[in-house]
Structure 1
Amino acid sequence: MKMPARWSTWLVLGLGFAFLYLPILILMVYSFNESRLATVWAGFSTKWYGELFRDRQMLGAAWISLKVAFWTACAAVVLGTMAALVMTRMRRFPGKTLFGALITAPLVMPDVIIGLSILLMFVSVGSMFHLESKGVVAIWIAHVTFSLAFVTVVISSRLSELDKSLEEAAMDLGANRIKVFFLITLPIIAPALVSGWLLAFTLSLDDVVIASFVAGPSSTTLPMKVFSSVRLGLSPKINALATLMIVAVSMVALFGWWLTYREERQRQRDIKLALQPDK
């Protein structure tokens, strides 16, 4: 009775992984296709990678997306950490519930509404102070606005699980709150910070709806460029670009997993040492 149940479990698991990753694997295989038709195999070739690196518009859009995603992730982690500290460490104050609701509102808000509202805000502020309402800075602010909610939730969950006695013990030994945060709290929540950074980076790099509202003529992001290219017909260059992105994201994800695994092992070793009886 156990063997059929075990085989059925592995079968369902295999089907689930195939449904998720088989299309990605097929896309990566067809990035080495000789044919101009992205879905017709005509032999092995790497020429589309060369065509991709000669496409200055595609490379320029990729560079803009990487810059915006990097600075979006950095800003979202800093602001998200501050918001998480307010929500988990500060006592109840007037408007705390409203503050938490406003922070997490982008989680359930449609991207179209967020993009349109940010565009209207930029137009109003730009006409008032004679500033540009569209461009790279506008995309960055818009991405920070909606990715901040995701980062705050990740860091808040880690802070809520943190043993406050560690911070209290450090303060009893004479450390002030700033020193406690940088020497005690920050190293413990470092895996959550890395996870939040990677999540914000991915969300910014993947966004096309919000960026479409606030992007200017010279600030086209990579998802917008890919979307406009696919509408005119799928090119094997898109397969090559997707393959490179998959490889890069996989390497970053493996690095984040390794960092989290190392921190967890260090924490388990510290707990074992703390529980050992003194000789």
Structure 2
Amino acid sequence: MANRAFEVARLPGFRTIALTGFVLLYLPIITLVVYSFNAGQSVAVWEGFSLDWYAKAWQNEAVKGATYRSLIIAAAASGIATTVATMAALGTTRRKAFKGQTVIYVMINQPLMVPEIVTAVALLIFFASIKVLTGYTGLWYLIIAHAAFCVPFAYLPIRARLEGMDLTLETAAGDLYASHWQTFRYVTLPLMLPGIIAGAMLAFVISLDDVVITEFVKSGGQDTLPTYMLGQMRRAITPEVNAISTVLLALTVVLLTAFFLLTRKNEK
């Protein structure tokens, strides 16, 4: 018999372990979604199907304010993070290897390697001193904090896209007397645009879902949707929190699905 190629799926118990992992991962999420349609106030006893909690969440001014604030912060932070990540990716890929390149990669990806609580405490100390000096307590602290944390998430797909691009295309544009700006505008940017969009979507999702950094940096009255939900759960859990979580989950799934399809299309 010819030797068959090794496949991890053929190992004894692999399917059982994989199925158990999926159940443990997704069963709580499915339970949350199901009980968001519960007619009663209990989050553990099913009392019939209803959309009342979605209606109450829609009419809740605090939820609307937190949602609006979350979208503003996520949009601004992802825009800043994507811009910085794009410049960093261009500077580290569209040139020959240079001394200290690995150190730069480590510095850019530092928020991914350091526990988020450490980053949150550092940002708290940094922004607290600025607040004392300036007296300003607006949303820009949260926007900058989220942007700093989201840079590596935007950087990774942009860098991957640039590393898959052939440098000869830009060289050919230069041979045809295109300026550096024209080469970037008409050759580099259109080719790297899918990576930029993917990075922006990923940064938006990370910012929208962030709790730890937001809790440490925000001032009074600056609750985002995740921190508002956390505060509600400390008081009393109702299906309204489940409804908000389901909507937030749906938005995240849509954005991540778009990110997956976009990057998968580019790989073909």
Is the structural similarity TM-score above 0.5? yes
Q: Deviations over 1:122-147 (max 9, x none)?
A: 2333444x242x44110100011111
Shift in Å, 1:189: 1.9
2:182 to 175, 179, 184: 179
Structure 1: 5+ residue runs without aligned partners? 269-279
2:52 to 40, 47, 50: 47
Q: Which amino acid aligns with 1:112?
A: I
SS in 2 for 1:165: helix
The answer to whether residue 176 in structure 2 is matched with residue 169 in structure 1 is no
SS in 1 for 2:255: helix
1:76 to 70, 75, 81: 81
Length, aligned pairs only:
261
Q: Deviations over 1:182-220 (max 9, x none)?
A: 222222222221221121111111111111111111211
Partners of 2:205 and 2:88 in 1: CA distance = 21
Whether the 8 Å CA contact 1:147–1:204 is kept in 2: the answer is yes
Question: What is the Cα-based RMSD across aligned positions, in Å?
Answer: 2.6
Q: 1:67-146 to 2 correspondence within 5 Å?
A: 67-91=72-96, 96-128=101-133, 130-132=134-136, 134-146=137-149
| More off after superposition, 170-179 vs 97-106 | 97-106
Aligned match of 1:273: none
Partners of 1:93 and 1:164 in 2: CA distance = 17
Query: Closer, same or farther in 2 for the Cα pair 1:255/1:112, shift >3 Å?
Result: closer
Query: Closer, same or farther in 2 for the Cα pair 1:14/1:182, shift >3 Å?
Result: farther
Q: 1:46-65 to 2 correspondence within 5 Å?
A: 46-65=51-70
Q: Which amino acid aligns with 2:85?
A: G
TM-score scaled by structure 1? Answer: 0.83
2:192 to 180, 189, 193: 189
TM-score scaled by structure 2? Answer: 0.86
Whether the 8 Å CA contact 1:135–1:218 is kept in 2: the answer is no
Query: Closer, same or farther in 2 for the Cα pair 1:137/1:23, shift >3 Å?
Result: same
SS in 1 for 2:109: helix
Aligned match of 2:247: 244
Partners of 2:112 and 2:80 in 1: CA distance = 18
| More off after superposition, 197-206 vs 150-159 | 150-159
SS in 2 for 1:197: helix
Partners of 2:175 and 2:75 in 1: CA distance = 38
Query: Closer, same or farther in 2 for the Cα pair 1:231/1:155, shift >3 Å?
Result: same
Whether the 8 Å CA contact 1:30–1:38 is kept in 2: the answer is yes
Whether the 8 Å CA contact 1:135–1:214 is kept in 2: the answer is no
Partners of 2:128 and 2:14 in 1: CA distance = 55
Structure 2: 5+ residue runs without aligned partners? none
What percentage of residue pairs aligned between the two structures are identical? 34
Q: Deviations over 1:53-90 (max 9, x none)?
A: 12111221111111101111111111100011111124
Partners of 2:95 and 2:169 in 1: CA distance = 17
The answer to whether residue 46 in structure 2 is matched with residue 34 in structure 1 is no
Partners of 1:255 and 1:181 in 2: CA distance = 26
Shift in Å, 1:180: 1.7
Whether the 8 Å CA contact 2:174–2:183 is kept in 1: the answer is yes
